[in-house]
Amino acid sequence: MNPEEMIRQSHRHPFQKWVTDPLFALLAGIVWLFFKILPVRWASAIGGQLGILIGKVMHRRSHIGLINLKIAFPDKSETERRTILKKMWQHWGRFYAEMPHAHTLFKKAEIRGLTHLKKAVAENRGGFVCSAHLGNWELAVSQPLFDDFYLNPVYRRANNPWLDKLMFQRRKGVLIPKGAAGARKMVEVLHHKGFIVMLCDQKLREGMEIPLFGKPALTAPAIAVLALKFKVPILMARSIRQPDGHFIMDVTEPLSMPQESDSDKAVRLILTEINRRLESWIRENPEQWLWVHRRFDKEIYRNPI
């Protein structure tokens, strides 16, 4: 356990640390086993219905989602936006119920553009793969994409360490937690010519304001800063659910690196291109993106829809 993790855990109440956390993790483990035993289609269907039910009681999150949808799709009616939100809750219910079946889903997935990643790996420089809370990104970070090649995921540790082990420690490759320790680990992975996968659609308290759906959104600059520093490529990837339940995984060619002498301007150009592509992907499959997190200025969410 690194010093940051020790400090974080020391702030937790002993009753929570030794009673409620293990009990909640035990319950989660039972649910995990339940979905693991079921055929993947049954697990997905049940998870989808549970997701819809959860969405009906998560009023605060749904409110955030509707505000985000209004920003992204101002021309759609309120009914259309609520339909997208309902399908989103269904998708994420299916997503979590399918996690125990990641290996099965991966074997049935169609991977497009894998040659771009293989070519980048063959150059032996390391690099980044940028994805988003879209579709099912777990397929790429829990399975070998080719020849025992794993991506090394950046992730946010669960507050509950027992749950963290259940949900994330099964991932392969080097697990990179967010924070200062994670930043050091990213540098270490790049020094060893490894590839890091990051979800690039998350808001940080500190970041660069980069347009997304026409509004400034705080965007983490680390991927661009490190790519420029180490002169490594950034590829983008998505894994989209299809109507019949299987997934199509797309990997793009590396982004064009700007030749700007001004490093801040170069970072901004890279992040702008990343957000532009993510926005395009989200518009194509809006029901598969996680709309219920605050992606824009907090003042936006204090106003009624």
DSSP 175-197: -EESSHHHHHHHHHHHHTT-EEE
Look over the chain and give the mean of its residue pLDDT values, rounded to a whole number: 89
Residues 151-187 have pLDDT tens digits of 998 887 777 777 777 766 566 667 788 877 888 999 9
Q: By mean pLDDT, which of 136-150, 185-199, 252-266 is the weakest?
A: 136-150
pLDDT greater than 80 at residue 43: yes
Asked if 130 and 154 count as a contact pair (C-beta separation under 8 A), the reply is no
Asked if 296 and 217 count as a contact pair (C-beta separation under 8 A), the reply is yes
Domains of the chain by residue range: 3-302
**Structure-token pair, residue 199:** 């979800």
Q: What is the pTM of this model?
A: 0.89
Instruction: Specify which of 12-16, 168-172, 284-288, 298-302 reaches the highest per-range mean pLDDT.
Output: 284-288
- For residue 157, what pLDDT is reported? 75
Residue 302's pLDDT band (cuts 50, 70, 90): confident
Burial class (CB in 10 A: 0-12, 13-18, 19+), 52: middle
For 236, the 3-state DSSP assignment is strand
**Structure-token pair, residue 200:** 């690039």
d(CA 130, CA 139): 14
Q: By mean pLDDT, which of 140-144, 213-217, 218-222, 270-274 is the weakest?
A: 140-144
**What DSSP line would sit under 21-83, residue for residue?**
HHHHHHHHHHHHHHHHHS-HHHHHHHHHHHHHHHHHH-HHHHHHHHHHHHHH-TTS-HHHHHH
- For residue 170, what pLDDT is reported? 62
d(CA 127, CA 129): 7
Is the pLDDT higher at 213 or at 4?
213
16-26: average pLDDT = 82
pLDDT above 70 as % of the chain:
92
pLDDT greater than 50 at residue 6: no
Is the pLDDT higher at 1 or at 55?
55
Determine how many CB atoms are found less than 10 A away from the CB of residue 236: 23
pLDDT greater than 70 at residue 7: no
- For residue 3, what pLDDT is reported? 47
d(CA 67, CA 294): 9
108-118: average pLDDT = 95
pLDDT greater than 50 at residue 122: yes
